[in-house]
Amino acid sequence: MDIGKIDQIIDKHDGEASSLIQILLDIQSENHWLPKEALTRVGEKLEVPMSRIQHITTFYKHFSLSPKGKHEVHVCVGTACHVRGAERILDTVQEVTGVGAGETDPDLNFSVETVSCLGCCALGPVIVVDGEIHGNVEQAETAAVLTELKQAETDEVMQQCACE
C-alpha cells in the first residue's frame, strides 16, 4: 500500500489517536487487509505504540493481518442456517470460487469465511457477499451470484491485457 495513501487516510481523521480504529477500518477498506508497513506508519504518525495497534487488530475479528480477496464471502453456519442447508451452500461457494472456508485464492479475488451467526436466522441459509446479505439462498442462486462476480473479474483482466 502506498504510504501517501495511508497519510491521506490519517489526515482525513486529523491525525487523532482517538480515531485509530476508524483509520484502521479505512485502510483495510482501501486495501482489503492491514499490511505491517501500514500499521507501522499509523503508529508513527499517531504516536501510538505498536503493541496497542496489535492489540486492536487482533481483538476485533473484522481486521485482517493477511491479504484478503477483493470479494469477501461469508457463509453463516449457525444452527438455523445449518439445519436449512448451510453446508450445501458452503460446498457451492467452494465449487464456484475454488476457495475453501478460511482461505483466499492466489489471485486475491475471493476470500471465504464461515461465521457462527449473522443475526438473520429467519432468512437462513444466509451468505454475505461484499457486504450484501442474501437470505433464503439456494445453491443455484449462490452459484449465480458468485459466477457473475467471477466473470466480472475475468472481464477486467481481459480488458487490462487488451490495453497493454
**Residue 158 maps to a domain:** yes
**Distance, CA of 39 to CA of 1 (rounded, Å):** 11
In a domain, 117, yes or no: yes
Q: Tell me the C-alpha to C-alpha distance, in Å, between residue 156 and each of 28, 36, 84, 148.
A: 22, 28, 35, 12
Residue 105 is part of a domain; what is its CATH number?
3.40.30.10
Per-residue pLDDT at 90: 97
* CB 97 within 8 Å of CB 150: yes
User: Is 65 inside any structural domain?
Assistant: no
Q: Do 53 and 76 lie in a common domain?
A: no
Q: What is the pLDDT of residue 164?
A: 61
Same domain as 76, residue 35: no
For residues 78 and 132, state if they share a domain: yes
Question: What is the identity of the amino acid at 50?
Answer: M
pTM of the model: 0.78
pLDDT of residue 163: 64
Do 116 and 137 fall within a single domain? yes
**Cα 18 from Cα 49, distance rounded (Å):** 13
For the stretch 79-102, pLDDT in tens is 999 999 999 999 999 999 999 999
Q: Dump pLDDT digits (tens) for 16-74.
A: 899 999 999 999 988 889 999 999 999 999 999 999 999 999 998 889 999 999 999 99
Residue 61 CA, distance from chain mean position: 11
Q: Residues 22-59, buried b or exposed e (16+ Cβ, 10 A)?
A: ebbbbbbeebbbbbeebbebbbebbebeeeebeeebee
88 and 149 together in one domain: yes
CA triple 38-42-44, angle to 5 deg: 115
- My answer on whether 95 and 144 are in the same domain is yes
Residue 59 CB contacts under 8 Å (≥ 6 apart), including other chains: none
Looking at the structure, do residues 53 and 91 belong to the same domain, yes or no? no
- Inform me whether the pLDDT recorded for 162 exceeds 80: no
Residue 109 is assigned to a structural domain of this protein: yes
